[in-house]
């Protein structure tokens, strides 16, 4: 359970929660929930115990997550050090296959020179590319297709 990014689907929308119950559901401290209330998480009324409606809680957490999201445009990769989407240095990136249909784009940030990674499917590589010059790995030749086979080979 991520405490920094609580999962809004854990809250039931047809239920009312106290501060302690919200803290228990998301595994955060009670003061964190009180801070959310100060940051405009609506409560049912101003009286004690403070009750938080489930659908308000879900809407608050989703809005909070959407506000912090940084989407990358074509030709950009998210730099963790800069905390922003950036164009790679020299508009160059390498594609490293993870599976047959999925891989990572690996590049260097043009601002801070840190390594940047972006997971992308091979089918969507054209959409993500933008102006990037992407180097795809070439398959190594099979040993019997080689002009000079290995000395230890029994193949003829």
Instruction: Decide if 149 is inside a domain.
Output: no
Domain that holds residue 82: 77-135
Instruction: Grade residue 1 by pLDDT with cuts at 50, 70 and 90.
Output: very low
| Domain-terminating residue out of 67, 90, 117 | 67
Distance in angstroms (rounded) separating the CA atoms of residues 130 and 110: 16
**pTM of the predicted model over 0.75:** no
User: Same domain for 82 and 129?
Assistant: yes
User: Same domain for 85 and 61?
Assistant: no
Q: What is the pLDDT of residue 32?
A: 93
Instruction: Decide if 151 is inside a domain.
Output: no
User: Whole-number mean pLDDT of the chain?
Assistant: 87
Instruction: Decide if 140 is inside a domain.
Output: no
Q: Is the pLDDT of residue 67 over 90?
A: no
User: Same domain for 61 and 91?
Assistant: no
The total domain count for the chain is 2
Distance in angstroms (rounded) separating the CA atoms of residues 120 and 95: 9
The domain spanning residue 44 has which CATH number?
1.10.10.10
Q: What is the pLDDT of residue 86?
A: 92
Mean per-residue pLDDT, 15-23: 94
Instruction: Grade residue 5 by pLDDT with cuts at 50, 70 and 90.
Output: confident
The beta strands (E) that lie in 46-114 are given as 52-53, 77-79, 84-86, 92-97, 102-108
């Amino acid at each position: 359970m991520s405490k920094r990014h609580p999962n809004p689907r854990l809250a039931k929308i047809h239920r009312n929660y106290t501060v302690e119950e919200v803290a228990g559901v998301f595994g955060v401290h009670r003061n964190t929930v009180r801070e959310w209330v100060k940051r405009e998480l609506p409560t049912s009324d101003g009286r004690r115990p403070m009750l938080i409606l489930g659908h308000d809680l879900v809407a608050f957490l989703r809005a909070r997550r959407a506000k912090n999201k940084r989407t990358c445009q074509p030709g950009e990769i998210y730099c963790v050090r800069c905390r922003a989407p950036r164009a790679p240095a020299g508009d160059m990136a390498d594609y490293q296959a993870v599976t047959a249909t999925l891989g990572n784009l690996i590049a260097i940030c043009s601002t801070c020179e840190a390594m940047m990674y972006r997971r992308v499917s091979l089918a969507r590589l054209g959409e993500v590319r933008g102006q990037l010059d992407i180097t795809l790995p070439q398959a190594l030749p099979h040993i019997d297709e080689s002009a000079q086979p290995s000395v230890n080979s029994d193949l003829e």
